A and B are shown apart, each in its own frame.
Chain A
Amino acid sequence: MTPAPTTLTASGLTLRYGGTRALDDVSLSLTRGVTGLLGPNGAGKTTLLRVLATAVPPDGGGFRALGHDPRTSAGRLALRRELGYLPQTPGFHPDFTAFEFVDYVAILKELTDRGARHREVRRVLEAVDLSEVRGKRIKRLSGGMRQRVALAAALVGDPGFLVLDEPTVGLDPEQRMRFRELVAEAGEGRTVLLSTHQTEDVAMLCHRVVVLAHGRVRFEGTPAELTARAAGRVWSSARRDPAARAGWRTGTGTFRNVGDPPEGADLLEPTLEDGYLLTLDGDSAAVTA
């Protein structure tokens, strides 16, 4: 099978906040489709996304996305013209209607033909299932609807590179499912980088996954490869196994352990989460839960 063409290549990205290395020599490559960015709190996910979204320049290293080098102002502008960015806590103009807000963003994306722009705004609002409420002021919309407005704003102009920072946080299960569907649709033909805490999101959406911890890339590959890391390393026991790198009580009262199993252990089918935990290798608080 021919590998998908690389759309983003980052090499040696480094960024410090005071004495903390938020990004430590991060190198990765992305292709079209949805790539999940997993990592515990403070792993540097948001920082990496902000760097790749050109919101903040790295201290070291660099990247090219969609053929543009953001180190030059022309390259940065060209990349921004093809970028859709949904930050972790998007802001809104509460007195604007959903249509006005997305239209406003469309203007900032230099969509100047009024008729074409309005058609595009209607298209993205329909894509996120907000056509019915497009005339409603944002302050009157629910949290889930607002999140979809923010996604519509990121999608407007049909960007080739979409950066989504934990877009499903705060959504109820039904809204999350709807959102996953939207992101999956957005990933068709685009490069989407999705930061999340939720391994389910990655399992259901992503064709590739990057695991980040302490500002470093711990894994880069497909979800299946991440899952495969835990093959033969997950077992069940009646008590917490002190030899396990991570273990937790399940609903049946038994313990699920991840690590190097003792001989004769009752091995279980690994999941993506098991692979993720093993990759973190004790870095996450969740591991000791």
Chain B
Amino acid sequence: MSTTVKEPTTDPTPADAAPARAAHRTAAVLALARVEARELVMQIPVLFFFLLEAGLLVWKCWDEEGMDAFPVLNTVDRDTQSGPLLASIALLICVNVAVQRDRRNGTAQQFGVLPLEPWRRTLAHLLSVVPFALLAALLVAVEYGWSALKPGAVGHGSLGELAVGPLMVLLTGVVGVLLARLLPSSLVPILFAVAVYFLITSLLMTDGAPEGVRRLAPVLDAGGGGGDPVPSDLLGRPASWHALYLAGLCALLACAALLVAGGRTRALKAVTAVALAVTAAGAVGQLPRDTAALEAARKTASTAPERVQSCTTRDGATYCSFPEWNGVRREWAKVVDRVRAAAGAPASDLRLTVRQRIDTSGGLEVDSTLAPSTTPGEVTVGTRWGGNRVGEFAVGVAAVLVAGTEARADALCDGRMVTVMWLALGSDPHPLTTFRNVRLDDEVTGSGVVLAPTDPLSLTAQQTEVLRALLDRPRAEVTARVKAHWRDLTSPRTTTAQTARLLGVPVPKGVETCADDE
């Protein structure tokens, strides 16, 4: 354009005719972001999946099991990460459709000459997904807060782990916008979601993938899928670095979307550079380091937990736990006290040591069975507490009181099993329910396997019959007989029939054999 153009004779723009037009471009972007966010809320997939997530959360809080009263917060924080997955995918698709609205509806031409440029409109779309990330953060906060505020909550969660869910929502939203700018087609986001799913599951999350590569996935391998909780310092999860990596990635992809849409400001270029640096720092920071030290710490916690535990003594019993579980000791003590109270001397005076133990030899993902302790008077307790674990612990305490060690209790195959089960259940407020819960088959008749913190015990049909008869008798009467015949009841030579006679209940018919068990 080289021609010289005449100046107009006047500038006739009527200043007083303009409506309230605050030429504040940021305000316009924010106003547009609000409109776009409202439009997104009205999209059925987004609405449905966020409501579903909220509903599941309410259901989770409402429908609690006994173990939920003692949540281990370093697993609760990780459990929040997969919650918004479906809502994230819905958001990716819907925001992608929203960005392509102008192209689809043919408004690009008339909107192209409006003051708010395409890249600022892209910024508004990016900002429109922020409320959904905040909503996800709120749901995460409710889920975690609900657990953390419980009196039995164990340990603490990680802000980095808690941030992953909301950051994933933000990331998928940003990816949706970027895809719409790069490849404007309605099929692209769906294909992308499927491709990413397969990429993550088939490449990043396989055992063969290097740890550094696996950590590039948005959600780190849960690392606690089936395994019991472990102390936080043994997790070896670079939660904060990973959250930083995700935050940087969100910012970087958002900047890419703005650049593709024509944003060329100096501020944007600077933010892009910073986002790139943050993403790189996060990616490098989360790389595995000093794995030998971590492995050594896990081994110590598994094989010599006394080195990293503290203990307290109460009423002749010592309770040793990993630091985060100190608050649960009093719950263990309640069980120990009531089981011991039903036992005869000298068992009631036996010095017990309740030792919390874990087994990480197979990895944190594996639910390993703890080996029975050979130390006299030592009772194992795991890292989960509440619900069925209480009854199982009572069985473990009773078994050590009767057999002396967990290892010896493993081989109980005589009348002593009746004594063990009576001690565990006799003082239980709901003995039959607990009995059903500690049995693997959830039955209260016939032979069965009884769960304990270490190896399970076997119960014959005859022993079950005697135990049921005892539970039907007045507790004080049975307790008095148990204390009176303690020596015989804990003798390996006493059969189930003899135990029944000693405790004043009918002798079961049939030949007793340990082969009768499951």
Q: Interface size of B by Cβ–Cβ distance < 8 Å?
A: 44
CB contact between A57 and one of B1, B4, B17, B24 (< 8 Å): that residue:
B1
Among the 9-residue stretches B55-63, B102-110, B327-335, B361-369, the one with 4 or more Cβ atoms under 8 Å from chain A is B102-110
Among the 9-residue stretches A100-108, A127-135, A261-269, A279-287, the one with 4 or more Cβ atoms under 8 Å from chain B is A100-108
**Cβ contacts A131-167/B at 8 Å (1 or 0 each):** 0000000000000000000100110011010000000
Set of chain A residues within 8 Å of B30, measured between Cβ atoms: 112
Closest to A30 in B: B8
Closest to B8 in A: A6
B31 at the interface (CB under 8 A from A): yes
Expressed in whole angstroms, the minimum distance between the Cβ of B238 and any Cβ of chain A is 42
Q: What's the Cα separation between A59 and B22 when bound, in Å? A: 34
New A-B pairs, 19, CB < 8 Å, besides A5-B10, A110-B23, A110-B24? A6-B8, A9-B7, A9-B8, A54-B113, A66-B8, A66-B13, A67-B13, A80-B115, A87-B110, A90-B107, A93-B101, A93-B107, A108-B32, A112-B21, A113-B22, A120-B20, A157-B18, A189-B14, A191-B12
Set of chain A residues within 8 Å of B31, measured between Cβ atoms: 107, 112, 114, 117
Q: What's the Cα separation between A86 and B114 when bound, in Å? A: 11
Q: Chain B interface secondary structure, helix, strand, loop or mixed? A: loop
Contact: B21 with A111, CB < 8 Å? yes
B25 at the interface (CB under 8 A from A): yes
Q: What's the Cα separation between A57 and B113 when bound, in Å? A: 12
**Cβ contacts A220-235/B at 8 Å (1 or 0 each):** 0000000000000000
Set of chain A residues within 8 Å of B115, measured between Cβ atoms: 77, 80-81, 108-110
Set of chain A residues within 8 Å of B52, measured between Cβ atoms: none
Contact: B1 with A53, CB < 8 Å? no
Set of chain B residues within 8 Å of A93, measured between Cβ atoms: 101, 105, 107
A171 at the interface (CB under 8 A from B): no
Expressed in whole angstroms, the minimum distance between the Cβ of B31 and any Cβ of chain A is 5
Contact: A112 with B19, CB < 8 Å? no
CB contact between A110 and one of B28, B102, B105, B112 (< 8 Å): that residue:
B28
CB contact between A69 and one of B5, B11, B20, B116 (< 8 Å): that residue:
B5
Contact: A109 with B114, CB < 8 Å? yes
Contact: A6 with B9, CB < 8 Å? yes
Q: What's the Cα separation between A110 and B1 when bound, in Å? A: 29
Expressed in whole angstroms, the minimum distance between the Cβ of A170 and any Cβ of chain B is 15
Closest to A88 in B: B109
CB contact between B23 and one of A59, A81, A116 (< 8 Å): that residue:
A81
Interface residues of A in 50-68 (CB under 8 A from B): 53-55, 57-67
Interface residues of A in 237-283 (CB under 8 A from B): none
User: Known contacts being A112-B28, A189-B14, is A11 close to B109, with CB within 8 Å?
Assistant: no
Expressed in whole angstroms, the minimum distance between the Cβ of B147 and any Cβ of chain A is 40
A94 at the interface (CB under 8 A from B): yes
Most buried by A among B4, B19, B27, B108: B19
Closest to A121 in B: B19
B3 at the interface (CB under 8 A from A): yes
CB contact between A83 and one of B8, B18, B102, B113 (< 8 Å): that residue:
B113
**Cβ contacts A74-103/B at 8 Å (1 or 0 each):** 000100111101110111111000001001
Interface residues of A in 7-28 (CB under 8 A from B): 7-12
A216 at the interface (CB under 8 A from B): no
CB contact between B5 and one of A62, A87, A117, A160 (< 8 Å): that residue:
A62
Contact: B7 with A64, CB < 8 Å? yes
B121 at the interface (CB under 8 A from A): yes
Contact: A108 with B109, CB < 8 Å? no
Contact: A80 with B22, CB < 8 Å? no
Set of chain B residues within 8 Å of A32, measured between Cβ atoms: 12
Set of chain A residues within 8 Å of B284, measured between Cβ atoms: none
Contact: B27 with A112, CB < 8 Å? yes
Q: Which are the 7 A-B pairs with shortest beta-carbon distances?
A: A116-B20, A91-B106, A91-B107, A67-B11, A112-B27, A12-B3, A108-B114
Q: What's the Cα separation between A117 and B28 when bound, in Å? A: 11
Q: What's the Cα separation between A103 and B106 when bound, in Å? A: 18
Contact: B111 with A108, CB < 8 Å? yes
Closest to A3 in B: B9
CB contact between A91 and one of B2, B13, B110 (< 8 Å): that residue:
B110
Set of chain A residues within 8 Å of B8, measured between Cβ atoms: 5-9, 64-67
A-B contact pairs, 28 of them (CB 8 A): A6-B9, A10-B5, A11-B3, A61-B2, A64-B5, A64-B7, A65-B8, A66-B11, A66-B13, A67-B13, A77-B115, A80-B114, A81-B21, A81-B115, A87-B110, A90-B106, A94-B105, A107-B35, A108-B32, A109-B115, A110-B22, A110-B25, A110-B115, A111-B19, A111-B28, A112-B24, A158-B19, A160-B14
Contact: B107 with A92, CB < 8 Å? yes
Contact: A112 with B22, CB < 8 Å? yes
B6 at the interface (CB under 8 A from A): yes
CB contact between B12 and one of A58, A59, A66 (< 8 Å): that residue:
A66
User: Known contacts being A6-B8, A54-B113, A81-B115, is A107 close to B32, with CB within 8 Å?
Assistant: yes
Contact: A5 with B9, CB < 8 Å? yes
Set of chain B residues within 8 Å of A111, measured between Cβ atoms: 19-22, 28
Contact: A117 with B20, CB < 8 Å? yes
Expressed in whole angstroms, the minimum distance between the Cβ of B56 and any Cβ of chain A is 29
Most buried by A among B6, B23, B115, B116: B115
Contact: B19 with A53, CB < 8 Å? no
Interface residues of A in 27-59 (CB under 8 A from B): 32, 53-55, 57-59
Set of chain A residues within 8 Å of B5, measured between Cβ atoms: 9-11, 62-64, 69
Q: What's the Cα separation between A108 and B25 when bound, in Å? A: 10
Expressed in whole angstroms, the minimum distance between the Cβ of A242 and any Cβ of chain B is 43
Q: What's the Cα separation between A92 and B12 when bound, in Å? A: 31
Expressed in whole angstroms, the minimum distance between the Cβ of A188 and any Cβ of chain B is 11
User: Known contacts being A9-B5, A67-B13, A158-B18, is A110 close to B116, with CB within 8 Å?
Assistant: yes
Closest to A59 in B: B1
Expressed in whole angstroms, the minimum distance between the Cβ of A194 and any Cβ of chain B is 16
